[in-house]
Structure formats: structure tokens, C-alpha cells
Structure 1
Amino acid sequence: MTLSEILRQAFATFRAHKMRTFLTMFGIVWGIASVIILVGLGRGFVVDQKKHLEALGKDLVIMWGGRTSTQVGGRAAGREIQLNVEDAELIRDECYLVKNVSPELRRTIPEVSQFNSANRGVVGMWPSYQSFRSLLISEGRLITDDDEREGRRVLVLGSKAYRQLFPGQPAIGATVLVKSMPYSVIGVLQEKKQNSNYSGPDNDYLFAPYSAVSRDFPPPEKPGEGITRGYLDDIVFEVGNPEEHGAAVLQVRRTIGRVRHFDPLDKDALFIWDTMDGAKQLAKIFAVVTLFFGCVAIVTLCLGGIGVMNIMLVSVTERTREIGTRKAMGATKRDILRQFFAESAMLTVVSGILGLTFGMGTCVAMEALPLPDFVPHPIVSPISIVASILTLSLITVTAGVYPAQRAADMTPVESLRYE
């Protein structure tokens, strides 16, 4: 039999059993589309969460002062370690594994513009902070080294702080009274989506040079607690090489421990949040989520393949007399094998193409829709397409060979006797 004759007979069979053909194809179409969509959603979730995590800052470490838990050099345990700006300067000057560092001085003080008032809080920091903390400008400019060096009273507003202080009004060049001190607005930040923070979302804050904040709003003196003008809420630094996060953190501990007289291995002396540790844990979770989505989709596709095989077995049974007649008229075992394999292959291949088209089209359509924040935009993965094609090929062979072989093995006599 020629290929055209095989295809013509296959189409005739499909036309004769339209509903059965449709239901069989639907299983494969839905299976392939499920692989594309579910893996795409999983990949979109991973990318979305990574973006939110990186919005906090890339390769970031946050450090707070604690209390010593061991005795060192005759100094008793339980001493409070209060970080100050000299510690940040020491890290900047001596810790070569640290790429950038900045002090953070957070002051919750009232802010008043000509349109509204707020009590969101001001963050004093060095200009380098804006880069490794992913503060991106929407209007105006960021804080510069000159602003820090000269202690200028300038502000960069987080997006929510801007909307509260200047509802629907221009802010650049305007004055904000920060606890009665006039500060000039030089910039407004882009809206920031972050799924982690350590003192509240950046959108809520007003940012200013550390030199200005520490001068105008120093922490209040607390008798007996030794809090000085250089006292900080925390120190934030960026590690130069992600592969050396552990070494960089240990280098910082040793540097601060040397001048503050505590054991660098004393975990209680300094509280450190290394965001890379969290990122690694999230990466493992993301991998499991993606694998789960992929497995669910593959199982769905395999169930569709089982449906194809069952339908083809039913077809073989229904067409037993036809098989006997064709063999009696000279059709070879190879002809019968090719005929039934071609039918199952056509079903799976056409269904697979439709499934790929539907799945990719759905992902593209969802990408264009304004989805809620908790629903990720699916990302079509080449891996999911390759996996779908390979699985489809396996299903084609598995679902087609057995029924075709069963039909080909029938003898003309037993086929013609079949009722």
C-alpha cells in the first residue's frame, strides 16, 4: 500500500467515528497544553519570586548588633555590641570581599509637605546603598557622594511616601519639613515589588544622606546604655562574589570582632541575615514546584496516550472482519501493521500540534492580561516543549505499535469467523 492510500483509509476511519476521534484527540490536546501551561506557570512563579527577592537587594547581607555569649580577653559575656558608623567605615576599608557597604539610620519622625503629612520614617544611608538595594529612580535623581559629603538636606521618596505627601502633585524641588527641618525633594523611586524586607517595604520610606540624618536627628542619649551619635540601626553590605558569601561574612565578623573584642564565631554578638541562604532555600522550593507541575502535566499527557491505545484496540476489535477480508485479498502483515500504526500516529501527531498551539497561545494570552499580583505570568519553556515532543513520540509508538501488532497477527480465517 502506498502512503496516500494509508492516509486516505485513515481519514475515512476518522470520519466514520467522529465523536470517538474527537474525544481521543481531546485527551492528547489537553495533555500537551497542560504540560506547556503548567510548566510555564511554574517557571513564571519562579522568575516572579526571584524578581521580588532581588528587589530587596542582590547578594545582600544585613547585620545588627547583639550581645556577646562568651568571655573574651577578660571581658564578661553579655556585653551589648552597638554598631556605629566607624564599623561601616572599617568594613569599607578592610574587608576586600565586600563590594559595597552602607550604614542605616532609621528615624520615625513626622514629615509635612504643603499638601499632606505623614509619619513614615527617614532612612539615612550612603549613596552606594541605592545601587545594591535596588532603588531605581522614577523622577529626578538619586543621592550623590556630594550630597553625603556636604550633608545636604535632600530626600528621595519611596512611591507610597510620595503618593501620601504629594497626592497627584509634582514633588521634585518641593520642600518637606522633616521634624521642622526643611528638606528638598530631589527624586521619586519606582514602585518596588518585594516579598521580603527587614524594616518595612522601601516604598514606604524617605531616603536621605546619612550625614544629614545623623546630624539633624541623632539617636537620643540613653544614660547607662552608652548610645552615641554614631549609633546605627544596622549595616548593610553587598558581597563581591556570590560564591564567597560565607567567607565575606566571616571576614566581616573577624574585622568587627577585632576592634569590639568578641569572638568572631560568637553568633550572638552580631545578628546576620545573609539573603543568599534564603535564596538557595527558595531555589530548592522553586525546583520542586516546577518538577511537580511538570509531573502532573506529563501524567495527564500519558493518560491521554492510554486513551489513544484503548481506542485503537477497540478499533482493531471492531474491524476484525475487515482485517480478515484485506488479508484474504492479499494484504500483507506489514500492510496491516502500517495501516493501524499510521492511524494512531496521525491522531497523536495532529493532537500534539493542536496541543502545542493551544498551550503556547494560552501562555501568550495570559502574558498580555492584567493578572493579579499573586498569579504569575506563564513563561513558555523550551524544556517543556522538548519534553512534550519526546513524551508525544513515546506515546505515539506505545499507543500505536501494540494495537497495530495485534491487528497484523490475526489470521484471515479467524478474522473472517469473528462475529
Structure 2
Amino acid sequence: MMALFSQTIQTLLAHRLRGFLAILAIVWGIISVLVLVALGEGFYQINMKSFSLLMNDTQVVFLGQSTTKEWKGRAAKRLIVPSEAEVRQIRNHPAIENISVIYSKRNASVTDSQGRSLPRNVTGIDDQFIELRNVKLSKGSRQVNHGDLVNHKRVALVSWQLADIGSLHIGSSLNINGIPFKVIGITKKNEDGISLGDVSQAMIPSTVFTDLWESEPDMLFISPVEGVSSWLLRKNILSFFANQQYFDPNDKDAMYMPDFGQEAAFFKKLLRGIQLFLGANGAMTLVVGSLGVANIMFLSVTERTREVGVRLAIGATPNNILGQFLIEGGILIACGTAIGIVFSYGIVMLLNMIGMPEWLGEPMITLDAIKISLGVTAVLALLAAYFPARRASNLLPVIALSARA
């Protein structure tokens, strides 16, 4: 075996240009697969961050809907507007883990410290909002806490969009209805989850919000206890409020609870499909590279026909010939694969250093991508090397020796 391997190395060194071209074809194919899949992975990760709220168990409930069915003498088209005290009673339900109650105002007076107008969207939040809404805050920020709610503190979290518009930073102030509020936090850019309304907003403690405006809650975020499915959670929520507000438990229009899970699952499949498409394009390049290796191997067999004839004449078996050409093709593809992986990492690192558009994310090579590339390459390598090797092993010594040099 060692003698066969040694002969193969000598042959490759004797035909360096041919070997170089074969390796180059595989290198280019590996780079195409890994870099395209890395771009797809970056795109997938950055978009899945935006849909992180959809992928967890938190259920969004929009209040202020109307009933569509009559119920026990009560007319249809009644507006269901529970108070905060009524809403918070659901916290005692055995299927409910946590709840956040949200208020909103779309036409508030919001200005910076210089009196310049800012977007007029104000949200009243509690100390569970950040966790259930899955909001990420920038460095140095803090969330609204229990003390802020109890003491009616005039503090505000602002979205990064509002911070950009108003040149706001942590510690600066803005005026809401002419009252100054201190900015205690700014959401992290592009990582504040999906939008459930206008994102250019100021968020203040809900107790301060109700001091400014007489209002009922607009929205809830509700998380279930472990083991409760999203479908069962929605059923329990609807049943609870139907009991409390006296409407038909089967009237789903009375409490709007979108099933984001199905949408998120579809979007996840779509992103994976895009990544698969990119990988398939790279794989086509790898296939072309493998065909190049096969052509070079067939050319090698043709040029070395007399050499094969001599070896067969002095006692080499067809299996010896088959083994040598298989090892030769395997070495070429193994070298091309190794070099291609190294170059792919280098290219991805360079792309990250240069900086990609935010919507594309950071390209990353995953272990799964390498495994798939190696698997595809192994199959193509076997096919590319086997048929030329089999042709060489099937040559008859007399015919091989009579071939032109």
C-alpha cells in the first residue's frame, strides 16, 4: 500500500500543472458552496432575530375589539374594554406565567428639550414589558422597574429610531405634554423585535401614562406556564375574558390574538429555502469542478496508456492500476477541499472586516455547512476518480503497449 501511495505521489509531482488545475477546480467549487451558504446563514440569523418575539411562547392580545355574537340577552357589537385591574386578574389563572399591560397614545405632544417636535407616539409600559416584548437595550440603559411604577417617576425608554430623530441619549430629556422626562434607556438598533405599531416611540411607566391620560389598556403580552401550548393559551385567555366580560367564549373576534407562530414557521422555512438555493448554486460550481477533475483524470489515463501497459506486462494487477488512479484522484480532491475550506474562512473573515449591509447580517461558516460540503465532495470525488480509474484498469497490456506515446 505504501509503495502504491509513493508511486501516486511521484506521478502527481511529474504532472504538476495537471494536478494544479484539478485542485484549482475543486478549490473554486468549495469556496462557492461555503461562502454562499455563509451569506445565507448570516441573512437567516439577522432576520430570525427580528422575529424572535414570534418564535417564543408570548401571546399578543389586542384589546378594544367588538363582539360579533349575541350572548345571554346581550347584543352583538359590544366593545370589550377591560380595565387594568380586570386584566391583571388573569395572572392568577393556572395556565398563565406572566403578563404585561400596555397603553398607547398616538397623538401626544412630544418635543425635545429645545421644543422641537418629535414623533407623537407614547406607550405606557410596566416592569415586565422588556422581558415579554423581547426588547434589547443598548449599553448603559436600564428598564422601567417596580420603583418607577410605584413612585410615578417621569422616566422614559425611547426607540433607537426616536433617539436618532431627536438626537437623544441616555440622560437627556424630552417633554411629553409639556412635562420633562429623563431618558433612561434606548432600544438596541435593529434588535428590538418585530413591530407591533409605530417604532418611533417613547415608553413611560404605565402609572405615569394613566396620570397624563384617562385610558384603558390597548394590548397585553401574556406568557404561559411550561407545557401549555400556544393554542391552549389562546383558548384559556378567550375563556377567561368571556367569563369576565360576558360574551360568547366561541366569539374569537371579541379578543384579537394573532397566531404569529404559524407565520414565523413559514418565514423560517422561507429563509432556509433561500439559504438552500444559495448552497445549490455553489454546489453546481463544485459539480463543474469535479467534472474538470474527471476530464483531467481521463486525459491522464489516455496519456499514460503505454505506462499502464508496461505495468500490466510486468505483473501489476488491474486492482493495482485502479487503486493508483483512485488514490491520485482522491489526493487531488482532498487537497482542493482543504485549501478551499481555508480560503473560504479567509474570505468570510474579510467580508466581516469590510462590513456587510445590515439587512444581510454577518456571514458565518457553520459546522453543518462544512459537513454537507465534505459529503457532496466525497460523492463527486468518487465519481470523478472511479470511471477514469476503471478505464485504466480494464486496458489490455497488448493494446496499451501498442498505443502511441
TM-score, with length taken from structure 2? 0.89
Instruction: Give 1:139's aligned residue.
Output: 140
Instruction: Give 2:303's aligned residue.
Output: 318
Q: Specify the code of the residue in structure 1 equivalent to 2:238.
A: R
State whether structure 2 residue 185 is matched by structure 1 residue 200.
Answer: no
State whether structure 2 residue 179 is matched by structure 1 residue 178.
Answer: no
State whether structure 2 residue 124 is matched by structure 1 residue 124.
Answer: yes
Instruction: Give 1:51's aligned residue.
Output: 49
Instruction: Give 1:400's aligned residue.
Output: 385
- State the aligned residue count: 399
Instruction: Give 2:208's aligned residue.
Output: 212
Point out where structure 1 has 5 or more consecutive residues left out of the alignment: 219-228
Alignment of structure 1 residues 129-278 onto 2, 5 Å = 129-135=129-135, 136-165=137-166, 167=167, 171-172=170-171, 174-194=172-192, 196-201=194-199, 204-218=200-214, 229=215, 231-241=216-226, 244-278=229-263
SS in 1 for 2:360: coil
Percent of matched pairs sharing the same residue: 26
The CA distance in 1 between the partners of 2:227 and 2:39, in whole Å, is 28
SS in 2 for 1:99: strand
Point out where structure 2 has 5 or more consecutive residues left out of the alignment: none
1:294-321 Cα offsets, whole Å, 9 max, x none, are: 3333343233222212221222123222
The CA distance in 2 between the partners of 1:137 and 1:297, in whole Å, is 38
Instruction: Give 2:75's aligned residue.
Output: 76
- Out of 385, 400, 418, the position equivalent to 2:370 is 385
Q: Specify the code of the residue in structure 2 equivalent to 1:215.
A: D
The question of whether the paired residues in 2 share the 8 Å contact of 1:98 and 1:248 is answered with no
The question of whether the paired residues in 1 share the 8 Å contact of 2:26 and 2:340 is answered with yes
The CA distance in 2 between the partners of 1:131 and 1:2, in whole Å, is 65
Instruction: Give 1:279's aligned residue.
Output: 264
CA positional deviation for 1:2:
4.4
1:264-291 Cα offsets, whole Å, 9 max, x none, are: 2222111112333332222222333333
The question of whether the paired residues in 2 share the 8 Å contact of 1:7 and 1:342 is answered with no
Instruction: Give 1:223's aligned residue.
Output: none
Larger mean Cα displacement after TM superposition, 323-332 or 387-396? 323-332
The 1:191–1:235 alpha-carbon spacing in structure 2 relative to 1, beyond 3 Å, is same
The CA distance in 1 between the partners of 2:10 and 2:173, in whole Å, is 81
1:328-353 Cα offsets, whole Å, 9 max, x none, are: 34443333223322221221111111
State whether structure 2 residue 327 is matched by structure 1 residue 342.
Answer: yes
SS in 2 for 1:272: coil
The question of whether the paired residues in 2 share the 8 Å contact of 1:104 and 1:236 is answered with no
The question of whether the paired residues in 1 share the 8 Å contact of 2:123 and 2:204 is answered with yes
SS in 1 for 2:67: coil
The question of whether the paired residues in 2 share the 8 Å contact of 1:95 and 1:255 is answered with no
SS in 2 for 1:155: strand
Aligned-residue CA RMSD in angstroms?
Answer: 2.5
The 1:160–1:382 alpha-carbon spacing in structure 2 relative to 1, beyond 3 Å, is same
The CA distance in 1 between the partners of 2:300 and 2:390, in whole Å, is 13
The CA distance in 2 between the partners of 1:57 and 1:344, in whole Å, is 47
TM-score, with length taken from structure 1? 0.86
Q: Specify the code of the residue in structure 1 equivalent to 2:152.
A: G
Q: Specify the code of the residue in structure 2 equivalent to 1:40.
A: A
Larger mean Cα displacement after TM superposition, 290-299 or 379-388? 290-299
SS in 2 for 1:391: helix
CA positional deviation for 1:357:
1.1
The CA distance in 1 between the partners of 2:123 and 2:253, in whole Å, is 25
